[in-house]
Amino acid sequence: MIQLRLCSVLGLLLLASSAIAATVSYDWDVTWVNASPDGFERPVIGINGAWPCPTIAANVGDTIVLTINNLLGNETTGIHFHGIDQINTSWMDGANGVAQCSVPPNSSITYRFLTTLMTWANTRMVSEDP
C-alpha cells in the first residue's frame, strides 16, 4: 500500500514538473552593428540589430529553441552555451569546428535543448573583420 502511494505521489510530481516547464523560443538575426564595447566605435557582432546581445530568459527545466540566421556577409558563426549540460544534445554546443559545424553565411540553424543550469552564451566565428 505504501509503495502504491509512493508511486502515485512520484507520478504526480513528474506530471507537475512537466506542466510547469515551458518552451522558450527566440529568432536571432546575427549581423554586423556599430557599437563601442571598449569606448571606440567599430563593427561588432550584434543580434537583431543591437549590441549588447539579448538575454535568453528561461528557467531550469525549460526547453530553449533558438534559431540563428547568419547574416554576417562572408563569415561563418555559431553560438556556444557555457554551463548548460547538453544532456543528449552534445552536438548543440561547442566551439565551431570541434563539437559543431559553423553556420555558413546566409544560413540558419535551430538549437533546441533542455536547460539544466543558468549561465551565459557567446558567439564564435573564424574572423573578426566585417
Residue-wise pLDDT for 44-98, tens only, equals 999 999 999 888 888 888 999 999 999 999 999 888 776 677 777 777 766 677 7
Contacts of 114 (CB under 8 A, 6+ apart): 61, 62, 63, 64, 87, 89
Instruction: Output the pLDDT for position 126.
Output: 47
Look up the CATH architecture of domain 22-124. Sandwich (2.60)
Residue-wise pLDDT for 90-127, tens only, equals 777 666 777 778 899 999 999 888 887 655 555 555 44
Contact (Cβ atoms closer than 8 angstroms) between residue 47 and residue 57: no
Pairing of strands 23-35, 63-70: parallel
Cα–Cα distances in angstroms (integers) from residue 125 to residues 28, 63, 79, in the given order: 16, 25, 9
Instruction: Output the pLDDT for position 2.
Output: 57
